[in-house]
Amino acid sequence: MWFLSSGNVFRWSLLIVQVHYTHFFEPVFSAEAFIQFKRYISGLLVGENKTISGINQLFVSEKRAQSNLNRLLTNSPFSLSELTRLAMMSILRAI
């Protein structure tokens, strides 16, 4: 069955992670940066290789330059204090 293949299970896992864990942080990022943020969080939670290269390789059906993810982590102008505040709010909501 198509839905039991490891590739489809993995894609669904990425989608669930992105929907469940990242929507709290959307106001912090631009539209493009938020796409990269979702990919980064998904890769950290689901992937085995936690490097930028390893995370980028998880998304074989949606190729993007690895430099975009690297730029998010090194040069993006998002507010770390706002990101932390939203993270704390999401944790408190879950309690």
Whether residue 11 is contained in a domain is answered as yes
Residue 14: both structure tokens together: 């990425």
pLDDT value for 3: 44
pLDDT value for 51: 93
Whether residue 13 is contained in a domain is answered as yes
How many domains is the chain built from? 1
- Note whether 79 and 28 are within 8 A (CB): yes
pLDDT value for 91: 80
- Phi–psi pair at 86, nearest 5 degrees: -65, -35
pTM recorded for the entire structure: 0.74
d(C-alpha 91, C-alpha 81), whole Å = 15
d(C-alpha 75, C-alpha 68), whole Å = 10
Full domain range(s) for residue 70: 7-94
pLDDT (tens digit, 0 to 9) for every residue of the chain, 95 residues total?
344 445 566 666 666 767 777 888 899 999 999 989 988 888 888 888 999 999 888 887 777 888 999 999 899 888 889 988 988 888 888 77
Whether residue 1 is contained in a domain is answered as no
Whether residue 2 is contained in a domain is answered as no
d(C-alpha 6, C-alpha 70), whole Å = 28
53 contact partners, CB below 8 Å, separation of at least 6: 66
